[in-house]
Every structure is written in C-alpha cells, then in structure tokens.
Structure 1
Amino acid sequence: MAEHFHLNTPLLESVSMSKRVGATVYLKMENSQPSGSFKIRGIGHLCQQLATQSKGVVCSSGGNAGMAAAYVARKMGVPATIIVPSSSPQLVVQRLQDEAATVKIVGKVWDDANAEALRLAETEGLTYVPPFDHPLLWQGHATMITEVAASLGPGVKPGAVLVSVGGGGLLCGVIQGLKDTGWSDVPIIAMETVGADCLNAAVKAGKVVTLDDITSEAKCLGAKTVCAKAFEYSQRSEFTIISEIVTDQEALQAVETFLDEERVLVEMACGAALAAVYTGLIRRLQKEGRLPSLLGPLLVIVCGGSSVDMKQLATLKHKLQT
C-alpha cells in the first residue's frame, strides 16, 4: 500500500506578492494535490488508520473533502458515498462521479448533508469520514508545515502564516504542524468571507456560535459552526490567531489576480487567504501593531479547490457584480 496519498507540494516564492507585502512571500501549493486541495493529507491519513477493512466510506462535503475521500477510496479499492448539499456546483458532482464515487444530494447546506452521512454510517456500517473535525485529519494536515520547515531549511521560520478557515480543520492542522516544528510562536492570520465567518463570529462572541445561514459564495468555507478545537486554540495565549474577514468581492478579486500573476486558478475559499495580501490587510495589521513591521517570510497556504473552472468563475463574477 502507498506510504501516503498526498504529495510533497512545491513551496514557491511569489515575487509579485512579496512586492506588495514588503517581505518574502512563500506559497505552499496545496492546489497541486491529486484531489485538488490540502484535504487529501488529513483524509488520506484518517482512511489509512480507520478504513483499511471498511465496506465503504461516507463523507459529507460540498467539494474538496469529498474529492479527497473519493480519490483515497478509489486508490484503496473501497466504495465511496459522498453526500453533497444542493449548493454544490454541478462540476463537483461530475468530478466526484469521475472518481467512481456514489453521489447523493441532500439538503441545502453542509450541515444537512452531514446529518445524512452520519445516518448512513450508522445504518449501513460505513466508515464516516468527517471533513474537518477529527484529530487524525489535523495530524495529516500538519505534514504541510513539516514540509515547509524542510524546504526553508534550518534557521528560517515564517513571520506569519496565512490560512483560509471553513470548519477549522486546516487551521487545526497548521497549529499542530507549528507545534511539531517548534514554531508555536508564529502568528496565524485566519481568513474568512463575510457570510461564512463562523470562527470570526465565535471569537467575537467568546464562545462557539452557529451562523443562521451561509450567505457567502465561498461555499467551501460553508460550515455554520467552527470545530471546537479551532475555537479553543483561538482562546489560548500561547498561539497568536488573528481572525479577519473579507468580502466575497475581495475574495473573488484575489482569485482573479492570483490567476493573472501566478497562472493558477483556485476557488474563492482559497481566495479569502490570498485577499489578505491583495487588499493590503497585512499592511494594515502591521500599522495596527498586530504584526511586526519588519515581517519575516510570509507563508501562504494555497489550499486550492476542486470546485472552480472558467465557467464557474464567470458565474461568480456575474453574481457578485455590484
């Protein structure tokens, strides 16, 4: 059996982004994973631990977790059932079917799809693959930070890490990775879009809250409640987690600028993190004294995304033109 399903992805220096920030910007290119996003790290790890003897896996996902689960299951020779909410683009459904998964469309948002996945795991004896809330996932995601440390070499550490937050799985994995590499003091800028801002809402309220609805077009950030572990990390003094939000328009603009400058197409969920550079948010945080004015290398996790193509991009532009 394969040692693991994910690739050691490239760490690229972005000259144009570095110019904007006034510090070296490194891009961890998780978009180049076989399933299109970072999710394969954690989901591959979890399936190797829990699903080798399984009669099948079931995963609830509007996109990337489903793609990762379907890919890993196909490689393991295990059937996969992926439950997606009706908000998922047709393109995602097609790609999941191409990975030989059975796709069921249930409910309007991820939370509805997840309830059905849990029911199927119970009634049909399938292995439930959670999209973001499980320690094995975070362990798998943490490998991206160990790779970064190996690429940067001894004595170099990031000045800050930039991540997008949906349910909080990537954030938990990054923190786990920072702990593993002795980088716990590196600040993390956790980015969300308005209308999918479950971490930001929790940080403001001082407790985990559930959003009424997901109104953002960044559907892959669309969990109404952040995982408890991510919120707990945000409250702990040994970590610096700066929670910020951008508009859908800013996230989309970031996707387009990234496509122009870096020749890579990512989805809006990933655009949320990129927008921190393109909107000048990093500079603002420096002005406010929340980030050092002399910033070490900025590490951007380009989390990727399988639910975007040129047609989808055009649709989003049309929707978001104000």
Structure 2
Amino acid sequence: MARPFHLNTPLLESVSMTQRVGTPVFLKMENSQPSGSFKIRGIGHLCQQLATDSKGVVCSSGGNAGMAAAYVARKMGVPATIVVPSSTPQLVVQRLRDQGATVNITGKVWDDANTEALRLAETEGLTYVPPFDHPLLWQGHSSVISEVAASLEEKPGAVLLSVGGGGLLCGVIQGLKDVGWTDVSVIAMETVGADCFNAAVKAGRLVTLDDITSEAKCLGAKTVCRKAFEFSQSGEISIISELVTDQQALSAVETFLDEERVLVEMACGAALAAVYSGLVHRLQDEGRLPAPLGPLLVIVCGGSSVDMEQLSHLKHKLHT
C-alpha cells in the first residue's frame, strides 16, 4: 500500500473556545495539510486508486480541491489541469500554477467549471478527479475521524464542520460509523447564499440553488452530493444543519486569527461561527444538543484561498 499524501494533523485544545462553549473544544487542524485543507485526504486516496497509470488528471475546483489535486499530481509525476470558475481569487490561480498545474478558467460558478472538466476528461482521456462526490473521497476523508479516535481520550459530544458539496460531511459520517461513534451529533454549517445542503434538508429532496451569492466561494456548489442528503434523511447519525451569515463567518475568521493565530478562509469560518456566534448554546437551549456536552470536535477544514489582502477585501465588501 502506497504511503498516503496527507499528514496526521494536530489536534489542539482551544482554551478560548472552551471558555465560550463551556465544554472542552478540540481543533482538528486540517489547515496544516500540505495542500492547505482536508481535501488532500480524499483526493490523495482517489488518485492512488485511479490515477497511477494516468496521462493526466483534471479537477474542477473553487480552490482547495484543485490545490490538493495539483499537489498529489506533482508528487505522482502526472500532469494536472485544474478548471476553476472566474470567481476564484487570483492568489489561488497563482498557487495552482506554482504547483505545476495548468489552470483553465471557465464559467462563473463551480458547476460551470465542472462541466468543462468532465468534457476535458472525455476528449483528452484525462482522469477526472471529482472535488466532493465519490466514495473513494469519502473513504479518504474518513481518516480524519480515525486519527481523532486514536488521540482523544473520550468520545466527542459533537463534531462541528462546514459543508460545501458534502464530501467532508460524508467522510466524517463514514469515519464516525467506522469507529462506532454513531451517537455523536454532527453540526453541519453553511453560509446563507451557499446553502445547498440546508435547502435540501428543508425541502426533503435535493435542491439546486439558482446562484451562489455568498462570499464563501469555496462552499459554492449549487447542489449537495446525493450521499450527504441521504445521510441527513437516514437518521443513522443526527445531523444538525444550520446557517450563518457571511458577516458572521468573516467575523469568526478574524476572531480565530486573533485568538488562535491561524488564518483560514470564510468557508472554514462558517463552522467556527457556530462557536463564536453562540449557536452551540442555542442548540443546547433548544434541546437539539445535550447539555452538558462532551468535548466538541471542530474540523478546521483550512483554506488556500485567503491571505491578508483577500481578508481586507472581504471586510471592505461586507462592511464589517
């Protein structure tokens, strides 16, 4: 078995978050992965299974999946084409090129870029690397929970994460099932305007958003993957779907930078905002989360599409 491309990331206790929530808060620092986010777990696993004899990989991405695919392809000595929508920050395009990838800018949102990636896979004979919707990705992402199970002394009371297309959510649920933690609730966070999972949960069926209006572009899939929706309906594991505003997500990014000295993107800020905005307490008051709660596990999913310039641009745009 080839060595995986991902790292066993640090699990850090946050004193300031613990004080806010009133229960120990542990941060799984996926921002410290070589590609900057958790995506390398699933994409590395998928590429090791499917792309060893490939003449090249093609991945559609708003940022993090592309960074992971470009990194893995470079390590495997395989050419990578990353198709990104025009909403992708210039710094992401540059970082992808720095990894040796060919960057193809197509369409306005991820769905447009994905159509082009599928076309290239077909016409050029490239291996298509989906950013979130594939069982091998979920299997790779599930390793985040097995790592936590090996190092946390007690079972978490809940897992807090952000949802974009649903790949991390599917991986975490698979991981919880693998380690026998099926009674642990998952708090699935999105921003208003990039809320395809919440819309599906409310409607009781898959929903395709008209557009992505949130600034958390990395959460920007118009339709969540079917498996994530099925998990939300099956009741095997309690999934609590909640929304925060862009302003709350951005404020969480700033607070996290101040308190933990780590800069993450707004997509990750959506999960952090559940702690900083008092949402965890509200869920306890409503009886949807137990009080007292066991340790809260927060997946700090990362982000390669943010720097100080991008942060001040967002602050200016959102008037915070």
1:89 is aligned to 89
In the alignment, the residues of structure 1 paired with residue 93 and residue 53 of structure 2 have an alpha-carbon distance, to the nearest angstrom, of: 26
Could you say which residue in structure 2 is the equivalent of 1:19? 19
Matched with 1:312 is: 310
Q: What is the aligned partner in structure 1 of residue 149 from structure 2?
A: 149
Cα deviation for residue 2 of structure 1 reads 5.1
d(CA) in 2 for partners of 1:310 and 1:237?
41
TM-score, length of structure 1 as denominator length: 0.99
Say if 2:200 is the partner of 1:195: no
Does structure 1 conserve the Cα–Cα contact (< 8 Å) formed by 2:2 and 2:48? no
Q: What are the equivalent positions in structure 2 for 1:215-254 lying under 5 Å apart? A: 215-254=213-252
In structure 2, the residue matched to 1:170 is 168
- Distance in structure 2 (CA, Å) of the matches to 1:256 and 1:294: 28
Q: 1:139 Cα deviation (Å)?
A: 0.2
Is 1:278 paired with 2:282? Answer: no
Task: Name the structure 2 match of 1:4.
Answer: 4
Runs of 4 or more, structure 1, over 4 Å off, are none
Counterpart CA distance in 2 for 1:134 and 1:2 is 20
2:180 alignment counterpart: 182
Segments of structure 2 that go 5 or more residues without pairing to the other structure are none
Quote the offset at 1:200 in angstroms.
0.4
Deviation at 1:142, TM superposition (A): 0.2
**2:57 paired with 1:57:** yes
| Structure 2 SS opposite 1:140 | helix
Per-residue Cα deviation, 1:26-54 (whole angstroms, up to 9, x for no partner): 00000000000000000000000000000
Distance 1:236 1:24 in 2: 29
Query: CA offset at residue 191 of structure 1?
Result: 0.0
Tell me the secondary structure at the aligned position of residue 204 of structure 1: helix
SS in 1 for 2:292: coil
Q: Secondary structure at the match of 1:104?
A: strand
Query: Quick one: distance in 2 between partners of 1:41 and 1:210?
Result: 27
Q: Secondary structure at the match of 1:301?
A: strand
Q: Is the 8 A contact 2:58 2:129 kept in 1?
A: yes
Q: Which residue of 2 aligns with 1:127?
A: 127
Query: Unaligned regions of 5+ residues in structure 1, if any?
Result: none
**Inter-partner Cα distance in structure 2 for 1:233 and 1:99:** 35
Deviation string, structure 1 residues 173-218 (Cα, Å, up to 9, x no partner):
0000000100011000000000000000001101000000000000
State the secondary structure of the residue aligned to 1:201: helix
What SS does structure 2 have at the residue aligned with 1:299? strand
Identity of aligned residues (%): 85
- Which AA in structure 1 matches 2:9? T
Q: CA deviation at 1:268?
A: 0.1
Report how far residue 276 of structure 1 moved: 0.1
1:78 aligns with 2:73: no
For residues 245 and 102 of structure 2, what CA distance do their matches in structure 1 show?
34
Q: Tell me the amino acid that sits aligned with residue 137 of structure 1.
A: L
Q: Deviations over 1:59-80 (max 9, x none)?
A: 0001000000000000000000
Between the aligned partners of 2:182 and 2:109, the Cα distance in structure 1 is 34
CA distance in 1, matches of 2:236, 2:190: 22
The TM-score with structure 2 as length reference comes to 0.99
SS at match of 1:290: coil
Aligned AA (1:51): A
Q: Of the candidates 287, 290, 293, which is equivalent to residue 288 of structure 2?
A: 290
SS class of match (1:108): coil
